[in-house]
Amino acid sequence: AIIVDGDHNEVLYDYNAHQRMYPASVTKIMTSLVVLDAIDKGELTLETPVTASAAAVTLPEGSSTAGIKEGEVLTIEQLLYCDLVPSANEACNILAEAVSGSNQEFVKRMNDKAAELGMTDTNFTNPHGLHDPNHYTTAYDIYLMAAAAMKYDIFRTIVSTPVYTLPATNLSDSRTLHTTNSLLSNWYAIGYTYSKAIGIKTG
């Protein structure tokens, strides 16, 4: 665990902050950060349309999902909302393919970004966080990653969104997607909302 004063980058409390742990869906912060960096470099835009591949929407049973279908067309911005609000695993796969052509190539960029940020106890093997023994990070490294992602206005907007309406697409009617973050919404659990919470991501 770690508590940091974000205004002054001062660690106020930590407990095993450098112990390697499995991040699960907190991984999606890095996925989004790599996508936003790619946008910043002019490789694509928030409005870029992307068609979901069969591979991208094929998920293990029990995966969190936004119900995106093979052949469905969404924008990068819509996929980021699906990634970060309901924690949709297929959205991460689709984003990875849009940026790098494959999950494998995208993961290289995730690890390059981790190294750039000084995340010395982190290794990613996929863009969504499904368990892999070689997929790990620490509380301190999550702080470094989250601080970098929160520099993007669109990221801050998305992670503070309790409910998102995904507009109708070529294959689906509009969908209402709820955040997994119980600090922002009572949808998944009652009694944990906090009025000053601004995100970011559950694991």
Q: Which among 64, 87, 100, 185 is annotated as catalytic? A: 87
pTM, to two decimals: 0.96
The per-type count for the chain, helices as H runs and strands as E runs, is: 7, 6
pLDDT in tens, 120-162: 999 999 999 999 999 999 999 999 999 999 999 999 999 999 9
**Six token digits for residue 43:** 């490789």
- Identify the H or E element spanning 176: strand 175-178
Residue ranges and CATH numbers for the domains of the chain are 2-178 (3.40.710.10)
Q: Is 87 a catalytic residue?
A: yes
Give the pLDDT of residue 167.
98
Q: What is the per-residue pLDDT for 73? A: 99
Out of 25, 64, 100, 185, pick the active-site residue. Answer: 25
**Tens of pLDDT along 9-62?**
899 999 999 999 999 999 999 999 999 999 999 999 999 999 999 999 999 999
Environment class of 112 (CB within 10 Å of its CB; exposed 0-12, middle 13-18, buried 19+): exposed
Report the alpha-carbon distance of residue 155 to residue 105 in Å, rounded: 23
Are 110 and 127 in contact by the 8 Å Cβ rule? The answer is yes
> Taking residues 64-88, what's their average pLDDT?
98
Residue 127 pLDDT: 99
Q: Per-residue pLDDT tens for 147-202?
A: 999 999 999 999 999 999 999 999 999 999 999 999 999 999 999 999 999 999 99
pLDDT in tens, 116-130: 999 999 999 999 999
HEC per residue, 85-120: CCCCHHHHHHHHHHHHCCHHHHHHHHHHHHHHCCCC
